[in-house]
């Protein structure tokens, strides 16, 4: 059984058959996603695939047109207080009040969360090397991401939603943020959903991966299972094909001359059978990275 | 011939072309305003207009001031970026291979030339023929406005990140105002000295702009300024010792609302009442040889001012970010675990605090003006504003002031329901509807004045109409509150606060209005004004507000 699945008990996030249209454009089309307590789900997909739209539904910023969204079994639109009080959120847009100082923003946020852990907030402040007297608008992009993460973590939310947390950040800040997330997952067993373009991050952290394409879920399962269901292989032809070979089950076929690299969805045996049918043999096969799978799924050619 | 391509052949041409391309529509509007001003002059000369010349002069003056400020924003590079107003030299031009002198001289000289030409045309053909500033020398006004123009450019470009830059600019503006009125002062300052002071201002603006921009180009202004950092650290040190956490989420949200817009009305209205009006009435008028206005006028101005200002500021009260044209709820507020009713309550509380502070500051301003005027004690003058005569000034004043505070609060919240939807088309539609209702009421009153039969019919049905309006208001409110409760947009406690507050304030307004009718011996009006007291304060708007915010928050 694939997991997350509708049958999973104790799902913190339960999205069922969610569809959303903006005018004639379908931003989400029959999306179902379930995340169990303590699970870490990586949401991946190209720009405009619907990741942020899905996250906005989880936060109640968008109302489901069809289907349902439940967080901790509650509707985030009908019960924003019940849901948002248990959710930490870091936005890609860094939508922060630039006029506030760092300490003012911390005090402001603290007021909404009875579970705010002051020593922990102080520890994060020190760890992220933020100056409490500094205005948020004068912080660098990385520092703004850090204060956003600090105010999302300091009340120890049961569910952490991170929308492109490391977008536009340098590797050092990315590492800091990722380590903070990993620590939360490892030490506290919290549920995390995060979207990212940087799939090496997802591979490193996520137990589950959901890939969206044009608003539809095209991949959904445990990260290692998703990777294991694909093969990156090199096919060798006796004579160079006149045009791009068509391989049944391939998500992408790229190359030139007599050697072509394919991203295949299926087992090794299925690949060898399909290759033989077009007069090729498999000379190299390995488990692809998530990055390769996303690129192949999003823009690859194949049958 | 492609003028744009030709212009790009020289850096100066390119800089000018960019300004022209960005603002050409507004330049056309300046032409329209000038045309209207010329039309006013012709109208006045032909004597066909019954509109007083002063109104024409004021309308023309507004056109000129608008044009002048527009030129200042064009050549000062005031730009909009992602709904935010950016004041400062654009960094895209700093990267061009040009000397700093060229970067400042092009907009300063060409802007100055454009401004002076515009001023001279307006003064010669519109303002002076309309009788405006007859005593002033055109050269003097041109030079003062040119100096002001250059200093605003210089300060806007030179102090990009300095805290209190606005205050420095206001100080420069006041300095120019003072210099501008030098020829009219009763002091013995020779024209040579007057021109010397003005020439110093004119000449120093250029090096200030050059030095500021040069430092900015070298990165000296990067990051927060030393003054800013010092201020923050001092403030933080004090804050650490004094401040704890907020007692509740509502308290935190109230603090945010207050910081964003709560101080605006007290600042503007109180500033005018405590500084502007006393200065104008008792210093400025004496300079130009006009006596101070009578106390009745002072009191009226003190109390009408905040009413008008609150009406203007009320248009933006629903916003969470004044600079955002879209009214959208910022993400950092939308994700907080607070009901929509709670967010609305914080706004209502902020409006109450703002109204109270404004009222107190204006009362203090009125006292100050009356004391400076030396026109008797406060009580004897305050009695003028009440219908209670000379016996119970104080008891008469307090309800009147309370009613004034309620009206300021009401003005601040006018249109909150539409504004909180976060949809500009709803705000525009609501504005249109209010305008239509207002014009309808004016038409109704005029028709009642002109046609006796209509007036009698209207008065016959007026009580019924008012009761129907009140019933509709209550029904809409009940429906909105019920819907809000079902959708968890508001809690029963918040409804209690809103309905309780509305009931008390409306009962007070109605009771006081009825009492005034008796006091002025117009008992026939009593029922109507009392019903008006219940109608004028918002209830349906407040009931709809949480739902409107829910529509904004959960799209």
Chain A CB contacts of B252 under 8 Å are 107-108, 110-112
What gap in Å lies between CA B250 and CA A217, rounded to an integer? Answer: 40
**What distance in Å separates the CA atoms of residue B223 and residue B238, rounded to the nearest whole number?**
23
Element (H, E) at A251: strand A250-256
Q: Indicate if A119 and A55 belong to the same structural domain.
A: yes
Residue B17 in 3-state DSSP? Answer: helix
Full residue range of the structural domain in which residue B341 is found: 253-553
Residue B243, in any domain of the structure: no
Residues of chain B contacting A112 with CB distance shorter than 8 Å: 249, 252, 336-338
Do A164 and A292 fall within a single domain?
no
Whether the Cβ atoms of residue B181 and residue B197 lie closer than 8 Å to each other: no
Does a structural domain hold residue B242?
no
B555 and A107: CB-CB below 8 Å? no
In a domain, B59, yes or no: yes
The answer to whether residue B248 is domain-embedded is no
Rounded CA gap, B333 and B324, in Å? 15
- Chain CA centroid to CA B223, Å: 31
Pairing of strands A40-44, A191-195: parallel
Kindly state whether B428 is in contact with chain A, defined as any CB-CB distance less than 8 angstroms.
Answer: no
Shared domain for B194 and B302, answered yes or no, is no
- Residue where a domain terminates, one of B189, B208, B235: B235
CA distances from A242 to A239, A271, A299 (A): 9, 21, 22
User: Is residue A277 situated within a structural domain?
Assistant: yes
Whether residue B216 is found in the same domain as residue B297: no
Q: How far A62 CA sits from the closest chain B CA (Å)?
A: 5
Whether residues B468 and B354 fall in one domain: yes
Domain boundary among A225, A252, A271: A225
- Among B161, B332, B555, beta carbon nearest to A97: B332
CA A44 to CA A196: how far, in whole Å?
A: 6
Number of domains in chain A: 2
pLDDT number for residue A235: 85
Are B122 and B226 in the same domain? yes
Minimum-distance CB partner of B337 among A97, A112, A132: A112
CB contact under 8 A, B235 and A133: yes
Q: What is the pLDDT of residue B1?
A: 46
The residue of chain A nearest to residue B549, with distances taken between CA atoms, is: A61
Q: Are residues B288 and B193 in the same domain?
A: no
Is B248 in Cβ contact with A111 (below 8 Å)? yes
Question: Which residue, of A210, A225, A240, is where some domain finishes?
Answer: A225
Instruction: Tell whether B92 lies on the interface with A, counting CB pairs under 8 A.
Output: no
Same domain membership, residue A215 and residue A137:
yes
**Average of pLDDT values for A176-199?**
78
- Cα–Cα distance, B555 to B348 (Å, whole number): 24
Q: Characterize B115-148 residue by residue with b for buried, 16 or more Cβ atoms within 10 angstroms of its Cβ, and e for exposed.
A: bbebbebbbeebbbbbebeeebeeebbbbbbbbb
Which of B203, B235, B267 delimits the end of a domain?
B235
The answer to whether A103 contacts B334, with C-beta atoms less than 8 Å apart, is no
B326 vs A: CB within 8 A: no
Decide if B249 contacts B336 (C-beta within 8 A): yes
Using the Cβ of A117 and the Cβ atoms of chain B, whether some distance falls under 8 Å is answered with no
pLDDT value for A6: 47
Give the residue, B59 or A51, on which the prediction is more confident. Answer: A51
* Chain B positions in Cβ-Cβ contact with residue A103 (cut-off 8 Å): 236, 239
Are B191 and B269 contained in the same domain? Answer: no
Q: Are residues A268 and A216 in the same domain?
A: no
Task: Please indicate if any CB of chain B lies within 8 Å of the CB of A95.
Answer: yes
A234 Cβ under 8 Å from any chain B Cβ: no
What are the residue ranges of helices labelled H in chain A? 51-59, 80-84, 102-110, 118-127, 141-153, 171-183, 199-205, 223-228, 268-277, 290-299
User: Is B410 a member of any domain?
Assistant: yes
Contact status, residue B311 vs residue B268, Cβ threshold 8 Å: no
Element (H, E) at B42: helix B11-46
Q: Mean pLDDT throughout B401-424?
A: 86
User: Has residue A236 been placed in a domain?
Assistant: yes
Q: Is the pLDDT of residue B292 over 70?
A: no
Shared domain for A255 and A120, answered yes or no, is no
**A102 contact B CB<8A:** no
Q: What confidence score (pLDDT) does residue B232 get? A: 62
Per residue, the 3-state secondary structure of B372-398, as one string, reads: HHCCCCHHHHHHHHCCCCCCCHHHHHH
Residues of A in contact with B255 (CB under 8 A): 108
Distance, CA of A262 to chain centre: 25
Render pLDDT for B422-477 as a digit per residue (tens, 0 to 9): 888 888 888 888 888 888 888 888 888 888 888 888 888 888 888 898 899 899 99
Question: Are residues A61 and B555, on separate chains, in Cβ contact within 8 Å?
Answer: yes
- The CA distance from B484 to A160, in Å, is 29
Q: Does any CB of chain A come closer than 8 Å to the CB of residue B256? A: yes
Same domain, A270 and A128: no
Burial A231-261 (b: 16+ CB within 10 A, else e): bbbbbebeeebeeebebebbbbbebeeeebb
CA separation for the pair B117, B68 (Å, rounded) = 11
Cα angle value B429/B438/B310 (rounded, 5°): 80
Phi, psi of A16 (to 5 degrees): -120, 120
Return the H-helix or E-strand segment holding B26: helix B11-46
Q: Residue B312 — pLDDT band, cuts 50, 70, 90?
A: confident
Helix (H) or strand (E) holding B165: helix B165-180
How far apart, in whole angstroms, are the C-alpha atoms of residue B492 and residue B532?
Answer: 27
Phi, psi for A219 (deg, rounded to 5): -145, 140
Nearest to A132 among B236, B253, B335 (CB): B236
Q: Is A3 within a domain?
A: no
- In a domain? residue B240: no
Report the residue from A78, A99, A111 with minimal CB separation from B245: A111
All residues of chain A having their beta carbon less than 8 Å from the beta carbon of residue B331 are 61, 91, 93, 95
Residue B253: its chain A contacts at CB < 8 A? 111
Q: Tell me which residue in A62, A93, A111 faces B246 most closely, judged by beta carbons.
A: A111
Q: What's the number of domains chain B is made of? A: 2
Alpha helices in B374-491 (DSSP H): 378-382, 393-412, 416-419, 424-450, 452-486
Supply the DSSP string of B347-360, one letter for each residue.
HHHHHHHHHHHHHH
A78 compared with B388, residue with greater pLDDT: A78
The reply to whether A32 and A100 lie within a common domain is yes
Q: Which of B185, B203, B235 is the last residue of a domain?
A: B235
Closest to B408 in 3D by CA, of B299, B309, B530: B309
Q: Is residue B43 one of the residues assigned to a domain?
A: yes
* Tally of CB atoms within 10 A around B383: 20
Q: Looking at the domain assignment, is residue A4 inside a domain?
A: no
Sheet holding A208-213, edge to edge: A87-90, A159-163, A191-195, A40-44, A208-213, A216-222
HEC profile of A220-250: EEEHHHHHHCEEEEEEEECCCCCCCCCCCCE
- Partner B, chain A 57-86, Cβ-Cβ below 8 Å: 59-63, 77-85
List pLDDT tens digits, range A144-157: 888 998 998 898 89
Lookup result for tokens 């003054």: B227
List of residues 6+ apart from B16 with CB closer than 8 A:
B7, B106, B110
Residue B241 is assigned to a structural domain of this protein: no
Q: Which residue of B has its CA nearest to A84?
A: B337
Residue A186 domain-assigned (yes or no): yes
Say if residue A254 is in the same domain as residue A197: no
Do residues A143 and A66 share a domain? yes
Nearest by CB: B553 against A61, A85, A135 = A61
- CA distances to B42, B64, B106, B125 from B117, in Å: 21, 12, 16, 12
B176 and B207 inside one domain: yes
Residues of chain A above pLDDT 70, percent: 95
d(CA B401, CA B224): 44
Q: Which of B 116-175 lie inside 8 A of A, CB atoms?
A: 161
pLDDT band at B192 (very low <50, low <70, confident <90, very high): confident
Which of A113, A229, A251 minimizes the C-alpha distance to B338? A113
Q: What's the CA gap between B524 and B528, in Å, rounded?
A: 8
Answer with the one of A177, A198, A225 that is the final residue of a domain: A225
User: Are the CB atoms for B42 and B9 separated by under 8 Å?
Assistant: no
Confidence (pLDDT) at B148: 92
Residue B54: band (very low, low, confident or very high) from pLDDT cuts 50, 70, 90: low
Both tokens of B120, joined, read 């001279």
The secondary structure of residue B258, as a DSSP letter, is I
Are residues A95 and B330, on separate chains, in Cβ contact within 8 Å? Answer: yes
* Residue A31 lies inside a defined structural domain of this protein: yes
Per-residue pLDDT band at B545 (split at 50, 70, 90): confident
Give the Cβ contact number of residue B171 at 10 Å: 12
**pLDDT confidence bin for B283, thresholds 50/70/90:** low
Same-domain check for residues A238 and A147: no
Whether residue B98 sits in one domain with residue B173: yes
Assign residue A122 the CATH number of its domain: 3.40.50.300
CB contact under 8 A, B232 and A62: no
Distance (Å, whole) CA B23 – CA A137 = 29
Min Cα–Cα distance to chain B from A173, Å:
20
B239 contacts in A (CB within 8 Å)?
A: 103
Do B211 and B278 lie in one domain? The reply is no
B270 and B122 both lie in a single domain: no
B334 contacts chain A (CB < 8 A): yes
Please indicate, yes or no, if residue A219 is contained in any of the structural domains: yes
Give the domain CATH number at A239: 3.30.70
Q: Are residues A202 and A279 in the same domain?
A: no
Determine the Cα–Cα distance for residues B249 and B254; give it in Å rounded to an integer. Answer: 8
Structural domain harbouring A194: 11-225
On whether any CB of chain A is under 8 Å from the CB of B239, the answer is yes
Instruction: Collect all residues of chain A within an 8 Å Cβ-Cβ radius of residue B554.
Output: 60-63, 77, 80
Task: Categorise residue B337: left if φ over 0, alpha if ψ from -120 to 50, beta otherwise.
Answer: beta
Q: Looking at the structure, do residues B354 and B482 belong to the same domain, yes or no? A: yes
pLDDT bucket at B164, cuts 50 / 70 / 90: low
Q: Is A135 on the interface with B (CB under 8 A)?
A: yes
A110 touches chain B (CB under 8 A): yes
Q: Are residues B337 and B207 in the same domain?
A: no
The residue to which tokens 């933006």 are assigned: B316
Structural domain includes residue A5? no
Q: What residues of chain A lie within 8 A of the CB of B263, using their CB?
A: none
- Residue pair B57/B88 in contact by the 8 Å Cβ criterion: no
Residues A221 and A260 in one domain: no
* Structure token pair of residue B100: 């700093």
Residue B357: pLDDT band (50, 70, 90) is very high
Span of A136-150, A288-302, B371-385 with lowest mean pLDDT: B371-385
Q: Residues B257, A124: contact at Cβ < 8 Å?
A: no
Give the gyration radius of chain B's Cα atoms: 28
* Rounded Cα gap, residues A246 and A252, in angstroms: 10
């Amino acid at each position: 059984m694939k997991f997350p699945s509708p049958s999973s008990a104790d799902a913190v996030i339960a999205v069922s058959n969610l569809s959303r249209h903006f005018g004639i454009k379908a931003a989400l089309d029959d999306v179902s996603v379930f995340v169990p307590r303590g699970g870490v789900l990586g949401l991946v997909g190209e720009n405009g695939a619907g990741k942020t739209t899905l996250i906005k539904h989880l936060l109640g910023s968008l109302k489901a047109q069809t289907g349902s969204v439940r967080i901790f079994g509650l509707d985030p639109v009908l019960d924003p207080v019940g849901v948002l009080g248990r959710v930490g959120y870091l936005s890609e847009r860094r939508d922060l009040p630039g006029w506030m100082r760092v300490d003012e923003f911390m005090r402001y946020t603290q007021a909404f969360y009875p579970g705010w852990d002051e020593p922990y907030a102080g520890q994060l402040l020190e760890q992220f090397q933020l100056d409490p007297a500094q205005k948020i608008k004068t912080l660098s992009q990385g520092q703004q991401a850090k204060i956003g993460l600090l105010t999302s973590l300091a009340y120890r939310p049961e569910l952490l939603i991170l929308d492109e947390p490391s977008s536009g950040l340098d590797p050092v800040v990315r590492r800091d943020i990722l380590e903070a997330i990993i620590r939360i997952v490892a030490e506290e067993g919290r549920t995390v959903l995060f979207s990212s373009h940087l799939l090496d991050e997802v591979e490193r952290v996520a137990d589950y991966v959901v890939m969206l394409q044009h608003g539809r879920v095209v991949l959904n399962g445990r990260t290692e299972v998703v990777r294991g269901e694909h093969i990156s292989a090199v096919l060798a032809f006796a004579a160079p094909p006149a045009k791009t070979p068509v391989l049944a089950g391939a998500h992408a076929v790229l190359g030139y001359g007599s050697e072509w690299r394919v991203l295949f969805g299926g087992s090794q045996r299925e690949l060898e059978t399909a290759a033989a049918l077009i007069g090729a043999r498999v000379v190299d096969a390995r488990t692809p990275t998530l990055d390769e799978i996303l690129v192949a799924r999003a823009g690859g050619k194949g049958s | 011939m492609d003028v744009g391509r030709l212009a790009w052949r020289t850096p100066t041409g390119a800089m000018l072309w960019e300004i022209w391309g960005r603002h050409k529509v507004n330049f056309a509007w300046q032409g329209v305003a000038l045309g209207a001003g010329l039309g006013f002059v012709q109208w006045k000369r032909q004597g066909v207009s019954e509109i007083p010349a002063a109104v024409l002069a004021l309308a023309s003056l507004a056109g000129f001031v608008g044009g002048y400020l527009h030129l200042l924003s064009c050549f000062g590079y005031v730009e909009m970026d992602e709904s935010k107003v950016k004041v400062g030299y654009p960094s895209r031009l700093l990267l061009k291979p040009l000397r700093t002198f060229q970067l400042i001289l092009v907009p300063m000289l060409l802007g100055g030339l454009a401004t002076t030409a515009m001023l001279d045309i307006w003064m010669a053909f519109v303002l002076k023929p309309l009788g405006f500033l007859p005593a002033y020398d055109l050269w003097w006004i041109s030079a003062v406005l040119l100096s002001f123009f250059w200093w605003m450019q210089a300060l806007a470009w030179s102090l990009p990140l300095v805290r209190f830059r606005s205050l420095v600019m206001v100080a420069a503006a006041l300095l120019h105002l003072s210099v501008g009125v030098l020829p009219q002062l009763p002091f013995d300052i020779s024209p040579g000295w007057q021109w010397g002071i003005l020439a110093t201002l004119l000449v120093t603006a250029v090096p200030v702009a050059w030095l500021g921009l040069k430092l900015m180009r070298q990165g000296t202004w990067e990051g927060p300024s030393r003054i800013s950092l010092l201020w923050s650290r001092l403030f933080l040190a004090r804050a650490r010792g004094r401040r704890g956490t907020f007692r509740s989420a509502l308290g935190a949200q109230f603090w945010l609302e207050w910081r964003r817009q709560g101080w605006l009305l007290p600042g503007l209205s109180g500033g005018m009442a405590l500084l502007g009006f006393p200065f104008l009435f008792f210093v400025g008028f004496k300079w130009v040889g006009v006596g101070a206005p009578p106390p009745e006028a002072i009191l009226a101005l003190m109390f009408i001012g905040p009413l008008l200002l609150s009406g203007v500021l009320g248009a933006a009260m629903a916003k969470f970010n004044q600079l955002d044209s879209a009214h959208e709820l910022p993400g950092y507020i939308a994700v907080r675990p607070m009901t929509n009713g709670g967010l609305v309550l914080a706004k209502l509380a902020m409006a109450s605090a703002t109204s109270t502070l404004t009222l107190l500051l204006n009362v203090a301003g009125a006292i100050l003006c009356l004391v400076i005027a030396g026109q008797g004690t406060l009580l004897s003058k305050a009695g003028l504003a009440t219908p209670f005569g000379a016996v119970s000034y104080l008891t008469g004043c307090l309800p009147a002031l309370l009613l004034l505070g309620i009206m300021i609060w009401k003005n601040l919240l006018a249109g909150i329901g539409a504004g909180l939807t976060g949809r500009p088309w709803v705000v525009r539609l609501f504005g249109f509807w209010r305008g239509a209702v207002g014009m309808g009421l004016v038409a109704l009153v005029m028709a009642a004045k002109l046609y006796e039969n209509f007036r009698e019919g209207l008065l016959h049905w007026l009580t019924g109409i008012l009761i129907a309006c009140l019933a509709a208001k209550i029904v809409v409110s009940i429906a909105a509150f019920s819907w809000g409760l079902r959708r968890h947009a508001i809690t029963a406690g918040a409804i209690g606060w809103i309905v309780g507050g509305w009931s008390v304030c409306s009962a007070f307004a109605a009771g006081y209005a009825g009492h005034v009718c008796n006091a002025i011996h117009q008992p026939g009006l009593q029922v109507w004004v009392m019903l008006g007291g219940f109608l004028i304060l918002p209830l349906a708007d407040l009931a709809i507000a949480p739902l409107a915010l829910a529509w904004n928050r959960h799209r």
